[in-house]
Chains A and B, each alone.
Chain A
Amino acid sequence: MQITFPHMGDMAVAVKALFQELGFSVVVPPPISRKTLNLGVKYSPEFACLPFKINLGNFMEALDKGADLVVMGGGCGPCRFGYYAEVQREILQEKGYEFSMYVIEPGIIDNIRKIRETFGPLSMRKVASAVRLAWNKAAAIDEIYSLVLKKRALEAEEGVVDKLYAGFIREIDEAMSLDGIRRIKKEYREKIEDSSAEYKRGLPLKVGLVGEIYLVLESFVNLEIEKKLGQLGVMVERELYMSTWLLNFFHLRNDEKHIKRAARQYLGSFVGGHGIDSIGNTVRYSRRGFDGVVQLGPFTCMPEIVARSILPAVSKAEGIPILTFFFDEHSADAGIQTRLEAFVDLLERKKRQKMRGSEYKGEIVYGQ
């Protein structure tokens, strides 16, 4: 049995550790590239959203490398995602691939039965140690990445933070023990802290990132928007991480309470996906004094479209500028870059005006 699964950010490191610790062999799909995208686009329904297409491309590349068991997420609406695994299975079967698929659906009892059917009997001790290793990797990655999101805006030398982060991911991937993970995390935390100099723009600008989870987590599909913001001298924060999502999913943490409370004034009910999170977190960022919010979603994403149409009211009432990007396979780098530059200029001028506490006198301020 050769297990594969879709990419989403750096999730593969943790998922690979989980299955390998359980004694299975894993085929990690090749890193998402234009080839992945082209494959996915070619064989997907045109109006499926971008995550569907990239997932499909991942599966095809992994199956070509010998994988025969695809593990995919499921769920039941209102977002279409719950249906994706079924459609992807059919497309891949029609293409002649031979494989089986394990779809993670809600419901613990059902899953335990299905896991036994698919993976055979597993010892509880082994499961516990595999989960512990995978979880610690996921948490370490998210902890260091949240630091990367801030420190890019301060790096002394362009690109140094990303180079350190790439080294960190390589080492975490190889780490076999919790002690090792802890040591690597500590080492890289210090290195990244040491790499920072001063704010590239001469003042701190903070942007909160909200939106659909796949587009937020996967930098290939969002055209490295976090990196672009960092290069423009903006510190980025986000609530969506693989580890926090899992904690909430297993009811070990309850962010929903805060999000719902913050969103209540604008949106009172669940609209699927992360729609209500986009509203609630925008309100929370605004009240925490952030300078702006960037919303990301795949083109045709219903929950984010709902959020998008409410955000102008939030922007006005809370006084926070918001920029929205919807991505599909046609999204072009130049358009994103121009809009981001203009948005960051706008945030900077607003901030300088506020810092001066006086009326605008016609002076213009600059980045770099």
Chain B
Amino acid sequence: MASEKYYLGVDVGSVSTDLALLDSFGNLVEKVYLRTRGKPVEVLKEGLKFLEDKYPGLEIDGVGTTGSGRALAGVVLGADVVKNEISAHAVAASRIIPDVKTVLEIGGQDSKIIIIRDGIPVDFAMNSVCAAGTGSFLDQQAARLEIPIEDFGNYALKARTPVRIAGRCSVFAESDMIHKQQLGYGLPEIIAGLCEAMVRNYLNNVGKGKEIEPPVVFQGGVAANVGIKAAFEKELGCKVHVPEYYDVMGAIGAGILAREYILENKKKTNFKGFEITDFAFKTSSFECDGCPNHCEIVNIYENEKLIARWGYQCARWEAV
């Protein structure tokens, strides 16, 4: 094991924190999927500990981070590459289906579409209006209906005629669902209706004006939902591929990017090592009173040492 080179990709998202361990060829060796629970650093350490325990003596040659917590994860780990989610997802999708032309990605709190031609992304969009079509809303609805989220999609497949649900906004969607329930429609029909509403909303908002051509890849946490997948296939009229590791594609992408960065630039990794699971990370924030902007500055400490700071707009807090 010691002679092999390994790369680590980390995707710190709003709902989940994913780690992907890649071998020297960039193939997935191990994936870790954890709920972020609002504690990104702790969960990240938990994930690292899992890898350390399972692969004692593991040596990491490159680390990439992505997701909304990419900057934080980047300073905590000592990442070599800190990349936006769109680039990471595009890279991972191209790796798994090399001639992919469209990537649909629905995560916890955002959804995106990436149009790829000849292996490079040529266009993309992210939801800008509302999170009605994302994972956290589905989570909420599953909890409200007392159905485990894992079974949610299967209910949809049982529906004979999906009910039409207003899907523009999560609040209205929920009241419309309750209304339809109280009229007496069956649960499968309502859930299938919700899936179709979400897909319609996604295609009209995120997918507006984009040339959606097959092969289509569907990834992100919501890709686990067979109801949504079926609704996409119905609406697009083509097969939608859900890759085996659909839930950690961002992490895989970050790992691939880290690997190629290290190889291309012949660099040594900045990774701080698995010791960081024993480090104490602390954040503190304060409001700057230097001007009426009142920036909320965040300090990140590693064992009491200040390692990063953000949230400012001017030069006053630039030095760490």
A interface list, Cβ under 8 A from B? 30-31, 33-36, 159, 163, 224, 309, 312, 315, 321, 326, 334-335, 337-339, 341-343, 345-346, 349-350, 353, 359-360, 362-366
B83 touches A341 (CB 8 A): yes
B86 touches A349 (CB 8 A): no
A360 touches B119 (CB 8 A): yes
B294 touches A364 (CB 8 A): no
Binds A, one of B145-153, B171-179, B254-262: B254-262
Taken residue by residue from 50 to 62, chain B's Cβ proximity to chain A (1 for < 8 Å, 0 otherwise) reads as 0000000000000
A-B contact pairs, 22 of them (CB 8 A): A163-B315, A321-B122, A326-B128, A335-B128, A338-B68, A341-B87, A342-B86, A342-B87, A342-B121, A345-B121, A346-B87, A346-B121, A346-B122, A346-B123, A346-B124, A349-B121, A364-B91, A364-B260, A366-B81, A366-B257, A366-B260, A366-B261
| Shortest 3 CB-CB contacts between residues of A and residues of B | A342-B86, A35-B292, A33-B292
Contacts of A359 in B (CB 8 A): 118
B294 touches A34 (CB 8 A): yes
How distant is the Cα of A326 from the Cα of B128 in the complex, in angstroms? 10
Given A30-B292, A33-B293, does the pair A360, B120 have CB atoms closer than 8 Å? Answer: yes
In angstroms, how far is the closest chain A Cβ from the Cβ of B121? 5
Instruction: Determine which of B91, B122, B260, B293 lies in contact with A350 in the assembled complex, contact meaning CB atoms within 8 Å.
Output: B122
Contacts of A315 in B (CB 8 A): 123
In angstroms, how far is the closest chain B Cβ from the Cβ of A10? 16
Contacts of A365 in B (CB 8 A): 264
Most buried by B among A163, A342, A362: A342
Is B136 an interface residue when CB atoms closer than 8 A count as contact?
no
Taken residue by residue from 102 to 133, chain B's Cβ proximity to chain A (1 for < 8 Å, 0 otherwise) reads as 00000000000000001111111010100000
Given A338-B85, A341-B87, does the pair A353, B261 have CB atoms closer than 8 Å? Answer: no
Taken residue by residue from 223 to 248, chain B's Cβ proximity to chain A (1 for < 8 Å, 0 otherwise) reads as 00000000000000000000000000
- Main DSSP-derived SS at the A contact region: helix
Contacts of B261 in A (CB 8 A): 366
Is B184 an interface residue when CB atoms closer than 8 A count as contact?
no
Starting from the known contacts A312-B209, A349-B120, 5 additional A-B residue pairs (CB-CB under 8 Å) come to A35-B294, A163-B315, A224-B313, A341-B84, A346-B123
Contacts of B121 in A (CB 8 A): 342, 345-346, 349
Contacts of B1 in A (CB 8 A): none
A342 touches B318 (CB 8 A): no
Contacts of A326 in B (CB 8 A): 128
Is B291 an interface residue when CB atoms closer than 8 A count as contact?
yes
Instruction: Determine which of B118, B209, B291, B318 lies in contact with A33 in the assembled complex, contact meaning CB atoms within 8 Å.
Output: B291
Contacts of B81 in A (CB 8 A): 366
B122 touches A339 (CB 8 A): no
A159 touches B122 (CB 8 A): no
Instruction: Determine which of A321, A334, A335 lies in contact with B123 in the assembled complex, contact meaning CB atoms within 8 Å.
Output: A321
Contacts of B119 in A (CB 8 A): 360, 362
How distant is the Cα of A365 from the Cα of B91 in the complex, in angstroms? 11
Contacts of A353 in B (CB 8 A): 118, 120
In angstroms, how far is the closest chain A Cβ from the Cβ of B316? 12
Instruction: Determine which of B118, B257, B293, B315 lies in contact with A34 in the assembled complex, contact meaning CB atoms within 8 Å.
Output: B293
In angstroms, how far is the closest chain B Cβ from the Cβ of A339? 6
Contacts of A159 in B (CB 8 A): 315, 318
Which residues between 67 and 88 of chain B lie within 8 Å of chain A, taking CB atoms? 68, 81, 83-87
How distant is the Cα of A360 from the Cα of B116 in the complex, in angstroms? 12
How distant is the Cα of A320 from the Cα of B119 in the complex, in angstroms? 17
In angstroms, how far is the closest chain A Cβ from the Cβ of B117? 10
Contacts of A343 in B (CB 8 A): 124
Contacts of A339 in B (CB 8 A): 84, 86, 124, 126
Contacts of B318 in A (CB 8 A): 159
Given A163-B315, A334-B68, A338-B86, does the pair A364, B293 have CB atoms closer than 8 Å? Answer: no
Contacts of A360 in B (CB 8 A): 118-120
Closest A residue to B114 by CB, please name it.
A342
How distant is the Cα of A93 from the Cα of B292 in the complex, in angstroms? 25
How distant is the Cα of A7 from the Cα of B123 in the complex, in angstroms? 35
B256 touches A364 (CB 8 A): yes
How distant is the Cα of A330 from the Cα of B124 in the complex, in angstroms? 22
Closest B residue to A339 by CB, please name it.
B126
Contacts of B291 in A (CB 8 A): 31, 33
How distant is the Cα of A127 from the Cα of B292 in the complex, in angstroms? 36
A34 touches B260 (CB 8 A): no
In angstroms, how far is the closest chain A Cβ from the Cβ of B265? 8
Most buried by A among B85, B121, B256, B257: B121
Closest B residue to A312 by CB, please name it.
B209
How distant is the Cα of A360 from the Cα of B126 in the complex, in angstroms? 25
Contacts of A346 in B (CB 8 A): 87, 120-124
In angstroms, how far is the closest chain A Cβ from the Cβ of B262? 11
In angstroms, how far is the closest chain B Cβ from the Cβ of A23? 31
How distant is the Cα of A191 from the Cα of B83 in the complex, in angstroms? 33
Which residues between 281 and 317 of chain B lie within 8 Å of chain A, taking CB atoms? 291-294, 313, 315
In angstroms, how far is the closest chain A Cβ from the Cβ of B204? 14
Contacts of B126 in A (CB 8 A): 335, 338-339
Contacts of B257 in A (CB 8 A): 364, 366
A363 touches B260 (CB 8 A): yes
Closest B residue to A340 by CB, please name it.
B84
How distant is the Cα of A224 from the Cα of B257 in the complex, in angstroms? 28
Most buried by B among A35, A339, A353: A339
In angstroms, how far is the closest chain A Cβ from the Cβ of B182? 33
In angstroms, how far is the closest chain B Cβ from the Cβ of A144? 19
